[in-house]
């Protein structure tokens, strides 16, 4: 009788400790998830800003100005253009 009780008490203590650990781990994981979501959001924001920056640098007005003024490029005249047919 006494032995059975002792074993049961052992089980109870073990399961109680198990509950505490798993709860602790659940909270740790939740915090990690939380941080990952915050990071996702900030990366999202950064992506938007990079897109904005790319669009600004690649604006046709800016590209044309650099091509003309700095690189001294110009459009070819019609007689300088050779059309190549698609060889399908």
Partner 1 sequence: MKFANSPLLSQRLPSWRSRLLLLCILAGFAVLAGWSIYLQGFNSAFLQEKGAQRYSRVIELPATRGRILDRNGQVLAVSTPVKSIWAIPEDAKLQPAQVNQLAKLLEMEPREVDRKLADSHDFVYLKRQIPPDVAARILALDLPGIHDQTEYRRYYPTGDVTAHILGFTGAGDVGLEGVELAYQSVLAGKSGSRRVIKDRRGDVVEDVDSIRPPRDGKDVVLALDDRIQYLAYANLRRAVIDNKAKAGSIVVLDARTGEVLALANMPTYNPNNRTRLTGAQLRNRALTDTFEPGSTMKPFTIALALDKGKFRFDSRIQTAPGWFTIGTATIHDSEPHGILTVAQVIQKSSNIGAAKIALTLPPEEMWHNFERLGFGHPLNLGFPGEVGGRVRPYQHWRPIEQATMAYGNGISVTLMQLAHAYLVFARNGDLIPLSLTKLDSPPLFGKQIFTEQTAHEVRAMLEMVEEPGGTAPKARVAGYLVAGKTGTAHKVEGGIYVNRYVASYVGFAPATDPRLVIAVMINEPSAGSYYGGDVAAPVFAKVMAGSLRDLGVAPDEPPQSLQALGQNAPAVKEGT
8 Å CB contact between 6 and 14: no
Interaction pattern, residues 24-53, with partner 1; x per rule: CB under 8 A: ---x--xx--x---------xx--xx-xx-
How many amino acids of this chain bind partner 1 (CB under 8 A)? 24
Greatest Cα pair distance, the chain, in angstroms, is 108
Which of these segments, 9-17, 66-74, 78-86, binds partner 1 (CB under 8 A)?
78-86
Scan for tokens 């790319």, then name that residue: 54
Smallest distance, partner 1 to C-beta of residue 4, A = 35
CB under 8 A, 24+ apart: contacts of 18-25: none
Smallest distance, partner 1 to C-beta of residue 2, A = 29
Residue 67 CB contacts under 8 Å (≥ 6 apart), including other chains: 73
For partner 1, the binding residues (CB under 8 A) are: 27, 30-31, 34, 44-45, 48-49, 51-52, 54-56, 58-61, 64, 77-79, 81, 83, 85
């Amino acid at each position: 009788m006494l032995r059975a009780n002792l074993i049961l008490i052992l089980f109870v203590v073990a399961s109680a400790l198990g509950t505490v650990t798993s709860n602790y781990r659940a909270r740790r994981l939740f915090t990690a998830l939380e941080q990952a979501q915050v990071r996702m959001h900030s990366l999202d924001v950064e992506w938007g800003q990079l897109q904005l920056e790319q669009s600004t640098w690649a604006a046709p007005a800016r590209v044309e100005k650099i091509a003309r003024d700095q690189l001294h490029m110009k459009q070819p005249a019609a007689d300088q253009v050779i059309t190549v047919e698609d060889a399908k």
